[in-house]
Structures are given as C-alpha cells and as structure tokens.
Structure 1
Amino acid sequence: MKKQLIKLSNINKSYKNGDQELRVLKDIHLEVEEGEFVAIMGPSGSGKSTLMNIIGLLDRSSSGEYILEDTEVSHLSEKKLAKVRNHQIGFVFQQFFLLSKLNALQNVELPLIYAGVASSKRQELSKQFLEKVELTERMHHLPSELSGGQKQRVAIARALVNDPSIILADEPTGALDTKTGNQIMELLTALHREGRTIIMVTHEPEIAEYANRKIVLRDGVITEDHRKEVY
C-alpha cells in the first residue's frame, strides 16, 4: 500500500474585496499518494494556482485541514512552515527564479544553505544533481549565459537537491518553446519513474498528458479527478 503524502479536507480560500468576499476554493478534498504524477488544470480564475500555493505552503487556507506526511500544517508558525517547505517540497516555477548574480552551481546550493548543510557537502550534492539534469558543463555559468531550457534544468536540480517528498511544478514549460518544453517534461517523467511525487499546474492539455492523474478545477471546485496507466 502506497504512503499518503497529502490530505486536504474541506479546504476553503476566500479573499476580501471591499465589502465583498471572493471564494476562490470551495470545500476541496484531495489526497495524493507517494509516487503519483498529478496535473492540475482549469481555466484562468479556476483556483488552480491558489490550490498549488496552499499545497506548497506559500499561502494558507481560510478554513479546512491540511495533513502533509502525517503532520497537520494549517496552523504552523511561519518559521515552522519555512522549515517544512525547505525539507519536504521542491519548487519549479515558470519563470525559473534563479538569482542572476549566482552561477548554476550556487543557485542549486541555495536550499542546502538554508538547511544548514556544510559547504563541501553542498557542492558535492549540487554537482551531483546538475549532472543528473545533464548540465555539468554549464555549472559555472550565470543564468544570463543559459538558455531557457537550461535555466529550467537548474531549477529542477535545485528542487531535487534537498531530496524533498514532493516536487511542485507551476507551469514548468510556460516560458519555453515546444521542443524545449517536451524535453523538460521528459526529464520530469524520468524523475517520476524513479519514484518521485510530482504535482504540476498546467493549462496545456498535451503537457497534462505526461501525468498519470489529471485534476480539473472550475470555479474553485474539483470537477474531474481521474487516473490513467502510464507505461
């Protein structure tokens, strides 16, 4: 039996707009097991990015319960949330979010610095994961000297370096051309085959096809949730 990593129960998210209350997520129930590759889809304004931010502990729900690896995280302090994020979640974003003055190796090291890992160990791990994403020869290059696909590979190496339980990918191919985007998706698929748990937001149906589970949100409600076999 696979381990349950995420359990969301009755998750609601609302924002105040003057006297009006905007409900973005409405009574969301979602469970994700270890080793799943989940694509979250939906039209603009459906709540998919808000849901991703709550799963990634970048935002809090207005109500409901979020259990992450047997820990109820909804009411943790900001300091404890930051520690959980650093150790248990790896992030891959559409715009990469690499620090422009740091080279690829130094960017990958960042989560390890926050985790208090010694310098020699940081370099060893960072080199190992840059090799994994086939960027060994570019590790001393600045982001400005890398292509979009190479930047995203650095971001994926950074997401992996702390060996997190979950990789969250928010529109990971959104800033890439089709060929490069497919290469990045093949890399994520290979990581999934190794047993990694990946949750991805995308608006592209062909990108969602790489996942083995598709969730569709409309108006803050999950309207579809189905799995497929991936060979």
Structure 2
Amino acid sequence: MTANPKTIIKLSQIVKSYQNGDEELQILKGIDLTVEEGEFLAIMGPSGSGKSTLMNMIGLLDHPTSGEYWLNDENVEELNEKEQARVRNEEIGFVFQQFFLLSKLDARQNVELPLVYAGMSAKKRKALAEQYLEKVELEERMHHLPSELSGGQKQRVAIARALVNSPSIILADEPTGALDTKTGEQIMELLTALNQEGKTIIMVTHEPEIADYAKRKIVIRDGEITLDTTDSVRIE
C-alpha cells in the first residue's frame, strides 16, 4: 500500500433487516468498516453470520436498511439506480465461486461483456479482452467455450473479466470454492500478485488457509464484526 493510502470504502452503522411475518430479522447489526486502497481483506464467519450479505452490500447488489456507505468519496445511497449500475460496472470487479460465464460465448467474448455494457467499440473491446487474458495466462484458450475449459481456467476467465474495466476493487466470493486444492492455490497466487500490483481485493471465504493469503481478516458472527486483525484485538 502507499504511504498515505486513500480510504475507498467506508461503512458506518450498516444495518440490514428483513421482515419475517411479525418479526424483524436483523442480518447486519450496525457494521462499521473502513477499507483503504491496496488492502487485501478476507471476510470470514460461519454460515448465516452475514458475511455474504455484507459482500453484497459492498458490491451494490443489496441495499442497507439503515446506515451510510461511502465508495470512493460517493455516498452510495444518494445515487439513483442508473448511477449505481455505472459504479458497479466501472469501479467493482466481481469474481464468484460459480464463475457465471455465458456458455455460448468463448473466453474472449465473456471477458468483453463489461466493455459492451460500457459502450466501448468492438475493436477496443477485443484488444483489451485479449490483453487481460494474456495477463491471466489464457491467451491460447481465448477462443474456447466454457465447456472446453477446466475449473481453474474458467476462474481465470472470470478474473480477467473482473479486471478488464480497471476497477478500483475486486470482490471475490469464495473464489476457490469450486476448485481442487492445487488449482485453488494457483488462483490465490494470481489474486496475491494482483494485490501486489495495487488492486484492492475483498474476499469472502470460510477456509482459514485461503484467508491466510489476505493481509487483513475480519470475522463476522451474528451480524457483527467480532475480530479485525488490523487492531489485532477481539471486539467485544
């Protein structure tokens, strides 16, 4: 990270609740979290703890019931749906456990998708997609369909797709969950290299050995942050 890192994410008293009949079910209970540019953060916690809800909130895939979310100095809740969609496409790259590649498009065409939504010309899209497939060492497989790729290769395509718009943040939700151990290690080494280049990476995982790749870990239990290794203390 830089000597004076910029705060790119600030969550203040984020609450997420759902109505379950007459009962209100609180998933997140007043989350405070600050993430600086260049961090590699792992979010951990048991099933049902709220970690995936928190990730969805950061990725603008869900909205808080109350609280404030600032992303790159913008108050997200003050943006309309079109503006939030722009922020999602330009500033956040998503990597999911299940890859979410379109089966009828080859690797290069899958990587091009965010650029299509951004309105980039076909010539520029093609060149950028090829550049990022080279970055993840898949240039020789760019014309293969997802069905012709291994799990690790599919995840590399997904990472290239996440990077192609040069987002400030990569959100990785269980990025090794569908992979064998060796392939998972290769993907984590790639994410580590991207972090060393300056990318901010936020990852949800339930595997301690995967979380160990991150520089900072937070643990969520029952909708609250109970441990943040930035402070190296348990939060009571």
TM-score by length of 1: 0.98
Cα deviations by residue, 1:69-118 (Å, 9 ceiling, x for unpaired): 00000242221111100000000000000000000000000000001111
Deviations 1:205-230 (A, max 9, x none): 000000000000000000000149xx
Query: Matches of 2:230 and 2:13 in 1, distance apart?
Result: 22
Tell me what 2:64 maps to. Answer: 61
* Of 188, 195, 198, the match for 1:195: 198
User: In the alignment, which residue of structure 2 is the partner of 1:98?
Assistant: 101
Distance 1:133 1:227 in 2: 30
Q: Which runs of 5+ in 1 are unaligned?
A: none
% same residue: 75
The equivalent position to 2:42 in structure 1, one of 32, 35, 39, is 39
Structure 2 counterpart of 1:222:
225
**Match of 1:110, SS?**
helix
1:81 aligns with one of 63, 81, 84:
84
Following superposition of structure 1 onto structure 2, how do residues 99-178 of structure 1 map, counting pairs within 5 Å? 99-178=102-181
Distance 1:112 1:42 in 2: 34
Structure-1 separation of matches of 2:96 and 2:81: 21
Give, in whole Å, the separation in 1 of the partners of 2:44 and 2:176: 14
Which of these residues, 15, 19, 29, is aligned with residue 18 of structure 2?
15
Q: 1:204 and 2:207 equivalent?
A: yes
Question: Could you list the runs of 4 or more consecutive aligned residues of structure 1 that deviate by over 3 angstroms after TM superposition?
Answer: none
Aligned residues: 228
Deviations 1:12-39 (A, max 9, x none): 0001111111100001000000000000
Q: What TM-score, normalized to structure 2?
A: 0.96
Structure 2 letter corresponding to 1:5: I
**Paired AA for residue 124 in structure 1:** A
In structure 1, distance between residues paired with 2:148 and 2:138:
13
Q: Aligned partners of 1:227, 1:134: CA distance in 2, in Å?
A: 33
Match of 1:27 among 25, 30, 44: 30
Secondary structure at the aligned position of 2:30 is classed as strand
